[in-house]
Chain A
């Protein structure tokens, strides 16, 4: 029997985390834990601190207070020279895909794999990249360049690149922001699949329909503070919408 998510040690643990820019707190005293296999939606109005929180987890910035633990690594005190070790444990997906235009889909995925680990040969990188592309439904589009793919397909390639190294954590910042609703659902389905493989997935989103219909754990930030942590399977009020 699969253990309950809360019984497994968390992949991400934030303890009293704050990040201030001058006098303004982008995030303030956040406590949060993400477990393997858990898909969590991070919601809140613009400027609530969602992106800051993702950047803290990926150690793009340091907290001004508190502790950030990611896959056993103390990100809050991690030196710049060791950040790569943490990043190899975190897959990242952006709203604007961030694919390299001169590389085709397969090469984009393989690039992400090989620059993170030089020990991976071309043949192995190709095989694993193809597997990842097949997993996101693009097994037959490996030779296509980004400009030959739709937005949804480009986002799938970006997701394949993020998960090809099988990180225990995937974070996505507004991954459906540039997509129509139907494509957005396809992408969210993919995130559910990835969570089902055992990866902790944290998705920052503005998409109300996704949040209300998906019935996954929803963490709400307002003015940098965690105001609501709604467990999966429940539907809560979207009070933050009033200020978004």
Chain B
């Protein structure tokens, strides 16, 4: 029991010195150097906002791809209006017994009309006609997207199938979507990469300016035997402060824009940005703040490796 109190006091002393000499010094110097830090703060904020939005877009595109893949492997086989029920059942049986098919669902004309009302643009078309223009169908869920073409070839020759518009199969549609999404992803990464390079360079330069302006202090610290981490610590913290501030602003902007989209609740938003919810927006904002911290302190470390002698 006797030895515990001094040990606790020692820890308190070390912690107090650490806070004052590393964090306090960094905060004071950050405030003093705000002029040279401002460009870094601005470029980093811009980068993080763009990264947040690109990240959310990437998440939405990934979900969109999943949805598209699911939809592309769902083949609608449209039935003639005058198709006899036994013939439809026979086709249903044949398709259901095919090992390449996961399931077959019958969709009546009334069901098709109800579904059309949930798809943007189609309610107007439905209301324009006095009769129900949507055909009944067998919705065939194919196990592999690669087999959809073969199932389509079998289904479209059936007597009960509408000869004018036999199925929903669109050869190469999924591949086209994938190509477009890949292109968007590459462009997004290139853009963020370019912005990242600019932000890191500007931040490194601002830390370089801070190092040069405090050369005497650094020299003194090194000569009195301050450990290397303690000499470098305040600069890392300064970079982290810049990054954290940029991250907080960018995180707020990212979250705000995503929430505006969600709050607007437009069908086009949910259609083109599936899966983007409040939770996803909050996680994206948190990641942006973390990225800001990492970017700021990482840039400082890089700058110190280049510009600070040991």
A, B bound: yes
* B14 and A98 within 8 A (CB): no
Is B223 at the interface (CB under 8 A from chain A)? yes
Number of A-B contacts defined by CB within 8 Å? 68
Of A3-11, A78-86, A224-232, the segment with at least 4 beta carbons within 8 Å of chain B is A78-86
Binary contact track A96-130/B, C-beta < 8 Å → 1, others 0? 00101000000000011111111111100000000
* B225 and A116 within 8 A (CB): yes
- How far is it, in angstroms, between the C-alpha of A103 and the C-alpha of B222 when the chains are bound? 17
Contact A114-B220, Cβ < 8 Å, known A84-B225, A85-B225, A119-B10: no
* B219 and A98 within 8 A (CB): yes
- How far is it, in angstroms, between the C-alpha of A81 and the C-alpha of B230 when the chains are bound? 12
* Closest residue on chain A to residue B219 by CB atoms: A98
The residues of B that contact A111 with a CB separation of less than 8 Å are: 220, 224
* B16 and A122 within 8 A (CB): yes
- How far is it, in angstroms, between the C-alpha of A58 and the C-alpha of B13 when the chains are bound? 28
What is the minimal beta-carbon distance from B5 to any residue of chain A, in angstroms?
Answer: 14
What is the minimal beta-carbon distance from B221 to any residue of chain A, in angstroms?
Answer: 5
* A115 and B226 within 8 A (CB): yes
Is B179 at the interface (CB under 8 A from chain A)? no
Contacting B at CB under 8 A, from A87-101, are 87-90, 92, 98, 100
* Closest residue on chain A to residue B216 by CB atoms: A98
* B228 and A80 within 8 A (CB): yes
* A114 and B228 within 8 A (CB): no
Is B17 at the interface (CB under 8 A from chain A)? yes
- How far is it, in angstroms, between the C-alpha of A114 and the C-alpha of B22 when the chains are bound? 12
The residues of B that contact A165 with a CB separation of less than 8 Å are: 224-225
Most buried by A among B10, B17, B18: B17
* B14 and A87 within 8 A (CB): no
Most buried by B among A89, A90, A117: A117
Contact A80-B310, Cβ < 8 Å, known A100-B216, A118-B13: yes
Is B227 at the interface (CB under 8 A from chain A)? yes
The residues of B that contact A156 with a CB separation of less than 8 Å are: none
What is the minimal beta-carbon distance from B220 to any residue of chain A, in angstroms?
Answer: 6
Contact of B13 among A86, A90, A121 (CB under 8 A): A121
What is the minimal beta-carbon distance from A125 to any residue of chain B, in angstroms?
Answer: 9
Is B98 at the interface (CB under 8 A from chain A)? no
- How far is it, in angstroms, between the C-alpha of A226 and the C-alpha of B225 when the chains are bound? 29
Tell me how many residues of A have a C-beta within 8 Å of chain B.
28
What is the minimal beta-carbon distance from B10 to any residue of chain A, in angstroms?
Answer: 6
The residues of B that contact A85 with a CB separation of less than 8 Å are: 225
Contact of B223 among A80, A81, A87, A100 (CB under 8 A): A87
* A114 and B223 within 8 A (CB): no
The residues of A that contact B217 with a CB separation of less than 8 Å are: 100
Is B21 at the interface (CB under 8 A from chain A)? yes
What is the minimal beta-carbon distance from A232 to any residue of chain B, in angstroms?
Answer: 28
Contact of B14 among A81, A83, A119 (CB under 8 A): A119
Is A161 at the interface (CB under 8 A from chain B)? yes
* Closest residue on chain B to residue A122 by CB atoms: B16
Contact A100-B220, Cβ < 8 Å, known A118-B13, A118-B14, A121-B13: yes
What is the minimal beta-carbon distance from A91 to any residue of chain B, in angstroms?
Answer: 8
The residues of B that contact A86 with a CB separation of less than 8 Å are: 225
What is the minimal beta-carbon distance from A219 to any residue of chain B, in angstroms?
Answer: 22
The residues of A that contact B310 with a CB separation of less than 8 Å are: 80-81, 83
Contacting B at CB under 8 A, from A151-204, are 161, 165
- How far is it, in angstroms, between the C-alpha of A58 and the C-alpha of B309 when the chains are bound? 14
The residues of B that contact A118 with a CB separation of less than 8 Å are: 13-14, 17-18, 21, 230
* Closest residue on chain A to residue B21 by CB atoms: A115
Binary contact track A58-82/B, C-beta < 8 Å → 1, others 0? 1000000000000000000000110
The residues of A that contact B16 with a CB separation of less than 8 Å are: 121-122
Binary contact track B3-36/A, C-beta < 8 Å → 1, others 0? 0000001100110111001000000000000000
Contacting A at CB under 8 A, from B276-310, are 310
- How far is it, in angstroms, between the C-alpha of A159 and the C-alpha of B219 when the chains are bound? 16
* Closest residue on chain A to residue B223 by CB atoms: A92
- How far is it, in angstroms, between the C-alpha of A116 and the C-alpha of B18 when the chains are bound? 12
What is the minimal beta-carbon distance from B218 to any residue of chain A, in angstroms?
Answer: 11
Contact A115-B221, Cβ < 8 Å, known A80-B310, A81-B228, A122-B16: yes
Known: A84-B225, A84-B228, A118-B18. 6 other contacts (CB 8 A): A85-B225, A92-B224, A100-B216, A112-B220, A115-B230, A122-B16
Chain A contacts to B: CB under 8 angstroms: 58, 80-81, 83-90, 92, 98, 100, 111-122, 161, 165
- 7 A-B pairs closest in CB distance: A88-B225, A87-B225, A80-B310, A115-B226, A116-B225, A112-B224, A121-B13
A-B contact pairs, 26 of them (CB 8 A): A80-B228, A80-B310, A83-B222, A83-B228, A84-B222, A84-B228, A85-B225, A86-B225, A87-B224, A89-B225, A90-B225, A98-B216, A98-B219, A100-B217, A112-B220, A112-B224, A115-B221, A115-B225, A116-B224, A116-B226, A118-B17, A118-B230, A119-B10, A119-B14, A120-B17, A121-B13
